[in-house]
Amino acid sequence: MAGCEYNLIMLYFGIILLYGGVFASHSKNVPMVSTSLGPISGYYKYSFENRVFSAFEDIPYAVPPVGDLRFEPPRPCPAWTGALNASHLYTCEQVRSEFMPLSGIKVQEDCLYLNVYVPKRQPPVNDNYDVIVNIHGGAFMMGDSALAGPGYIMDRDVVYVNLNYRLGALVGASARMTWTAEDEGLLATLYLEKILDETDRNWEEWSEYLLDYYNVVNENEKRSIAQKIKSFYFHSDKISKGNIKSVIKLFGDRYFNVAFETAVEMQAKVAQSPVYAAVYAFNQSTGFAKLLGSHLQGVAHGDETLLIHDYIGFGPQIHGRKLSTSENFIKNLLLDSIHSFARSGKPSVSGWHSLESSDDQ
């Protein structure tokens, strides 16, 4: 179903770009766009470096998926009369999580909306702005378009689009977990030592579930595999708070590193355009682990997005803060690379080579 929604997004957004022209309405001092489905009014926002841009938020790309349409493929959105007020942010129903704060954002099933951000000034003659589309993360269970706000990226001359899509049980992707109304991830950190001790004592029984291989390995091999994994990462040591780096290495390999390398190799084999890969290792002052109260050092999953996007969910913890010299350098490096890739298919970093085959490292 997510694929159907994605196709509708691309179709609808194509209509906006091909048939819509952005212009300022002097009578109301708001940006307006004309589309084949009707006019849209937005509002002006400021980027990180105080550039003014036009924001059109929560433009419907499908009929609200509620009632009889709750589990159905999305239906095309009908035309509207009058100017659509596109100046609100909504998000889809989801499991609540400390990892995905939703402060100040209305949560509802009627959530199939996209947001379009456009520079206020017109592009050069005989040229167009490059378009960057972001589909938020969250394991198809949580998250929203505010995970990838426009604050940083609109310091560049681009058209930026992000969007919502149905999550969790509403796309049939998870069991009905009524007991997970509120994720208790932060609470678990208070019992880390106890959890690790329990994990060590029950490793042979738990590992197939913790590492998600319970349904791909023969029953008579599971105990042996569990022992080999523990020996490889912990040698003869116990799983404990004292070797937390080995715990992180184990789960990092299982849930990120191996899948990342496999995906890169597969894409490099079949892609018609160059594939670029990188590992982010910049330990910035504000990362997800630090925002969630961890004292562990190192780079967490998704940290780079905090220098690319305006993460609304964490509010004042990251908004309005002054970047260090090194953070500002990395931010500009990331934004320039993304903009360059959108324009030419190649990031603007000297020495960053594409992977032309699965043999490349």
- What's the pLDDT score for residue 122? 78
Q: Tell me the C-alpha distance between 220 and 207, whole Å.
A: 14
DSSP type of residue 235: T
Dmax over CA atoms of the chain, in Å, equals 75
**pTM across the whole model:** 0.76
pLDDT tens figures, 246-300:
988 999 899 888 888 899 989 888 888 888 988 888 988 877 777 766 677 778 8
Q: pLDDT tens digits for 65-115?
A: 777 877 777 788 888 888 888 777 777 767 666 556 555 567 777 788 888
Name residues whose C-beta falls within 8 Å of residue 139's C-beta, 6 or more positions apart in sequence: none
pLDDT score, position 339: 92
pLDDT tens digits along 128-167: 888 998 887 777 667 777 777 888 899 999 999 988 888 7
Contacts of 318 (CB under 8 A, 6+ apart): 286, 291, 306, 311
Kindly report, residue by residue over 324-342, the tens digit of the pLDDT: 889 889 999 999 999 999 8
Reported as a single tens digit per residue, the pLDDT across 200-253 is: 888 888 888 888 888 888 888 989 999 999 999 999 888 888 888 898 899 989
Average of pLDDT values for 43-52? 89
Give, for 55, the enclosing helix (H) or strand (E): strand 52-60
Q: What is the mean pLDDT of the chain?
A: 77
CA-CA distance, 294 to 237, in Å (whole number)? Answer: 24
Residue with tokens 């926002």: 45
Pick the closest to residue 115 from 151, 139, 66, 156 (CA basis): 151
pLDDT higher than threshold 50 for residue 35: yes
Question: What's the rounded mean pLDDT across residues 30-56?
Answer: 88
- Tokens read off for 320: 């309005």
Give the confidence band of 19 by pLDDT, cuts at 50, 70, 90.
very low
DSSP H helices, 192-257, are 192-201, 203-210, 222-234, 244-252
pLDDT score of 112: 83
